[in-house]
Amino acid sequence: MTIQIKTVTGEEVLPWLDALALLRIEVFRDFPYLYDGDLAYERRYLSSYASSSLSLFVLALDSGRPPEASVVGASTAIALSDAEAAFQAPFIARSIPVENVLYFGESVLRYHYRGRGLGHRFFDEREAFAREQGKTITSFCAVERPDDHPLRPAKYTPLDNFWQQRGYHKQADMHTLYNWRDTNEPAPSDKLMAFWLREAPSL
């Protein structure tokens, strides 16, 4: 298994857009997101990143797979000033200039490729991009699910410890709502998302 890491910015990602859309649908179907994916939405969402010159895509490519299936993992980032208003609002409420922040969209990785250090590589590449762009804060948000959620796997381990080891801190007063349909829902509903931040000089 030979994994190549490839970084592209803005419209350079367009040849991989459909592969990324399908990957997000596959990975986010699992707990805690339980996302019942929609390909048309995924294309629109990813196109919004591709249209920004201040976006980054970190692609994990398996050269042993057919070209159309070679993307086995991906991670994204975008200048918060180019992100959706729902993600900017908690920073504006705390008087944090959005121009100072690089927002991390997601990290998705197929199950059989986990445990090989790719999660750290995704963070390394995005944090390096933040430094190049002169950003002093990196941030992401994650869905909040109750411990007794009926679809929570018995052996589920949240990523909180991993994120803390990377220097990120959960912000008790920074949340947003994001709307999608869970696999066990008849219709989309708002989900509570909590923000995690890491500030310079730790970058």
Runs of H (alpha helix) within 38-117: 39-50, 85-93
Task: Provide the residue ranges of all domains of the chain, joining segments of one domain with +.
Answer: 3-199
The two most distant CA atoms of the chain are separated, in Å, by 48
| pLDDT of 95 strictly over 70 | yes
Provide mean pLDDT across the span 183-200: 95
- Report the pLDDT value the prediction gives residue 65, as an integer from 0 to 100: 83
Provide mean pLDDT across the span 13-29: 95
Do 150 and 160 meet the contact criterion of CB atoms below 8 Å apart?
Answer: no
| pLDDT of 194 strictly over 90 | yes
Report residue 99 as tokens. 């121009």
- Report the pLDDT value the prediction gives residue 177, as an integer from 0 to 100: 97
Beta carbons within 10 angstroms of residue 93's beta carbon: 10
- Report the pLDDT value the prediction gives residue 69, as an integer from 0 to 100: 76
Q: What is the pLDDT of residues 102-127, one digit of tens each?
A: 999 999 999 999 999 999 999 999 99
Q: What is the pLDDT of residues 116-163, one digit of tens each?
A: 999 999 999 999 999 999 999 999 999 999 999 999 999 999 999 999
- Report the pLDDT value the prediction gives residue 6, as an integer from 0 to 100: 96
Where does 3-199 sit in CATH, by number? 3.40.630.30
Provide mean pLDDT across the span 164-172: 96
Q: What is the pLDDT of residues 38-89, one digit of tens each?
A: 899 999 999 999 999 999 999 999 988 876 679 999 999 999 999 999 999 9
- Report the pLDDT value the prediction gives residue 63, as an integer from 0 to 100: 83
Beta carbons within 10 angstroms of residue 191's beta carbon: 18
- Report the pLDDT value the prediction gives residue 201, as an integer from 0 to 100: 56
| pLDDT of 202 strictly over 60 | no
**DSSP single-letter state for residue 177:** E
- Report the pLDDT value the prediction gives residue 175, as an integer from 0 to 100: 97
| pTM for the full predicted model | 0.94
CA contacts within 13 A on the Cβ side of 164: 6
Do 188 and 171 meet the contact criterion of CB atoms below 8 Å apart?
Answer: no
